[in-house]
Amino acid sequence: MILIITLLEKFRLRKFLFFCFYLFVAFDFISMIHGKTSDALLGSRVDRNTWWVGNHVVSPSVSILIMAGHADSQFMKGAGTSGEAVALKGYPPMNSKMSDELFWNLKVRDAVVRLGKAKGLKIKSYEPGIRKIIDDNNEKTNWTVGSRYSSQGAYVLEIHFDAYGNHGLGSGLIPPLTNRINNIDESIARSFGRYPLFFRGGLGAPRRQIRVLEIGKLEGDLEKNLRQVNSSEKTIDQIADRIVNAILIGLNKKDLFNQQLNKGDIFLQDSHLQTNLGAL
């Protein structure tokens, strides 16, 4: 009888140790996916219970289109944050004809394209030329042009800055609503942060296969460094450099994101595996 009890205790201990091991592995992987929650350059990162992996390979010759968020919707509801400096501290806007977010979106867009071309990427920008287009389906909107390019196989990324304070969540990539999230998406998410796949029920751009990159909240040191004359250009170049490097890593280091599965393994078999971590 004593022997049986001893064996049962050992069996239970072994099960417990196996459980602890798998729990450790799971949370270690989740930690790798989420990464750090703050950044010296960009400030806070998005911190939401989300889990997806971009593991579809992208051709090194893929066409890349970079757009500035809200470039076609100024002075309309939800058309970009004014930033902490203007909204709370009374500073004048960088340009009275647009929100401060669009001002910086445009700067980063152009810097990313300039640097991307210098590093050999097949990359260009889109400029709608009209700052207020009421019809979402107008042929000149970001959504229409981005959707068309995406349907032709291009990688389309829209640049944004998030709202200040409690209005925003921080830096991170909002992925497209697709089952083919790719290596570039994964690389950018690891560098900037990772928003849920169905963020806010699915935004207009991701529904059109346009990736949305929130650079960071337009507040604090990030906004200060953007606004100060002696640090503005350097800050924009640092942001652009991080974006371009993330794209290059996604194009060239495929093995980092494509785990080889054993036969019958159902773990990470799709590119947009997502779960509520609270259920673990």
CA dist., res. 55 & res. 92, Å (int): 44
DSSP category for residue 260: P
Higher pLDDT, 221 or 38: 221
Alpha-carbon distances, residue 109 vs 1, 166, 236, 243, 267 (angstroms): 74, 26, 10, 10, 36
Q: What angle do CA 135, 81, 240 make, to 5 degrees?
A: 95
pLDDT score, position 200 = 82
pLDDT of residue 15: 53
In percent, how much of the chain has pLDDT > 90? Answer: 69
Distance CA 24, CA 69 (A): 39
Least confident of 14-18, 38-42, 60-64, 210-214: 14-18
Quote the pLDDT of residue 121.
98
Residue 206 clears pLDDT 70, i.e. is over it: yes
Question: For 250-263, what is each residue's pLDDT tens digit?
Answer: 999 766 555 554 44
pLDDT of 143 higher than 70: yes
pLDDT-wise least confident of 93-107, 203-217, 248-262: 248-262
User: CA–CA separation, 251 vs 36, rounded Å?
Assistant: 23
Mean pLDDT, range 186-196, rounded to an integer: 96
Q: Is the pLDDT of residue 35 over 90?
A: no
CA-angle at 32, arms to 27 and 38, nearest 5°: 110
Percent of the chain with pLDDT over 70: 78
The total number of residues written for the chain in this structure: 280
Cβ atoms < 10 Å from Cβ of 71: 26
The whole-number average pLDDT for the span 18-45 is 57
- Going by C-alpha positions, the residue among 254, 255, 146, 133 that lies closest to residue 207 is 146
**Looking at residues 219-239, what average pLDDT do you find?**
98
**Residue pair 40/208 in contact by the 8 Å Cβ criterion:** no
Does residue 144 contact residue 158 with C-beta atoms inside 8 Å?
A: no
Question: 222: buried, middle or exposed (CB in 10 Å: 19+, 13-18, 0-12)?
Answer: buried
Q: Checking DSSP bridges between strand 64-68 and strand 155-162, what pairing results, if any?
A: parallel
Q: What is the pLDDT of residue 270?
A: 46
What does the alpha-carbon distance between residue 34 and residue 141 come to, in Å, rounded to a whole number? 32
pLDDT mean over 196-203: 87
Q: What is the pLDDT of residue 264?
A: 46
At 77 the pLDDT is: 86
- Region label for 64, one of left (φ > 0), alpha (ψ between -120 and 50) or beta (otherwise): beta
With 90 as the cut, is the pLDDT of residue 202 above it? no
Residues pairing with 126 in the sheet: 67
Per-residue pLDDT band at 273 (split at 50, 70, 90): very low
